[in-house]
Structure 1
């Protein structure tokens, strides 16, 4: 493992921001720290950067005790959400900043700095913009400059704190693909903080999901999405429908629907989760949960169906061709979840 975090805890006054967090990242891996506000992901990133000192725990990176190293010797590049560019400096000067402030004995020559800036401008696709100032750039271009500045020092680790948070949705999607390509070309271990589930699942090699300062699950994007460790992870990673149920003798009962229980489902009262687009629709005399259609909203071929099931409103999704004809408000039908997940404890 390139990065090993063991038992990191950090409190701010009486508030525990991190509680005994342990995780690992492979060499040159893209690791996403994902969680809602207050989950501790940014605090953990700041510990790696040397901006916070943990109350307990260890960090080992590349065989070194990372916490014992001064910030300057950690060789980490950090990119913030709001760029943090120097407005009075040109693009080239911003990129070169980390090199130009090194002690004289470690500072590269002017020619070497110029060559490095030129190389990075090409890498982040900003050739020809080296003389512009940050105010003359778009938000996406400014974030590329911030990434180039972080890479200029040839970091061993790249830390990204919600770098796309200040950008609109379309620019975020465009930069998402570009960032993954940049990571692969730069060949550096990257730790990426985000609260955007889609962003984490699209970009990362592995995802660490945090809640209230605790690590809830660590795994590859498809692993955590398909096999969430608990109800929080299931609900956080995508739209979810939730119903109370009971498992007995290998059978799952939800309201008036009975089916085979998923493998490993615990006996007793359970919470049943399923994705709103992973259902089939059947006539009212068919198999599944009894439901009454309350409203339908179509957007192109995608249809959102609001149903009343067991006294609660449940929003389902369907692709036009998969929705049986005649489905309209007031219709009674049956809803059959295709891949329900079951967790202990009643809702």
Structure 2
């Protein structure tokens, strides 16, 4: 009996010492390898992987202490991916709280509605925190690397703000933007107005890109899309300046001339019927929705008023009057 009591006493004492050691260990300041100390938790990393990373960096002496702490506090699955920065020494408990707080540094790159692929590439190339893997690649190689099925990169990336970890590659971000556009386009295509003269989601993307470049006014998008749909149905040329400008490329000096409208090229919708061969920019969700659910209208023409809005006409005579009126106001 005396031996049993002694063993029980020793067991309790050891347990108390272990608890005390554990308590002191997780509440004592840890020594950081550098100050400030930066590290990243990749998306999909689990607790063991993060603990191993911290141990390998010399932040914690034993990964299992950190793992046990997280499990004891029921935070095993609460660690957030992101970039982290420590400017001072912390305890293991404070470090765990930091990793589960969602207060990671958020690096971001933004793609704007109406941007071309060239503009998008420039932003990626110039971002100091993005690893550039595409600078020397041509368009077809980039499309292959992101798994795109299209033959042109223009317009297939969704304009949005994308958050990323430090040293993420431009390919990773492009893949996300491509998948996001594909997801939105397929969803909107499924709920489109029936009997549109558009046979594929890609054609809808082309039309949406034209709508995007024609107006930034929310209330005009569906009406402008309706004009283009009416023209497609009637076999009329779209006759939209943004496509001509896109086709001119670097030759465009900011002034669209009559000779430009008469010179035939793949994107000149004054000389060619139907849609241009590719989108001319990245359309936002509002423009995609407008292209697939256009306003029911009899209008076949529109002209910019000069205040961002458009004036719509059902016949050429009224359109010419509107052009004279609003162009004179803009001079």
TM-score category (smaller protein) = under 0.3
The structure with the greater share of residues assigned to helix is: 2
Instruction: Normalising by structure 2, report the TM-score.
Output: 0.24
Instruction: Normalising by structure 1, report the TM-score.
Output: 0.24
The structure with the greater share of residues assigned to strand is: 1
Larger Rg over CA atoms: 2
